[in-house]
Amino acid sequence: MPMDAREIESMIKAALPDAKVEIRDLAGDGDHYAATVISESFRGKSRVQQHKLVYDSLKGQMGGALHALALQTAVPES
């Protein structure tokens, strides 16, 4: 069963409470999403470490209920 965009956003925000999260359904099928996540938690971390924080927040759903997630991460602008 596909994941809902609100569920993805909720899971990310549970792990990164300060995050600003934008989710877009790329194909209209509930299976292919793009996410932009902006969080102070990313400061000083490499892009790979930032993405790992987001993927970890999804608790193993990647490759299962969530087929594809194009991810962009950033720290907030000062």
pLDDT for 59 equals 87
pLDDT for 10 equals 96
Contacts of 49 (CB under 8 A, 6+ apart): 42
pLDDT at residue 1 is higher than 70: no
Closest CA to 6 of 26, 18, 21, 17: 21
pLDDT for 19 equals 97
44, amino acid identity: G
Count of the separate structural domains present in the chain: 1
Q: What domain range is 21 assigned to?
A: 5-74
CATH number at residue 34: 3.30.300.90
Q: For 11-66, write each residue's pLDDT tens digit.
A: 999 999 999 999 999 988 778 899 999 999 999 999 999 999 999 999 877 767 67
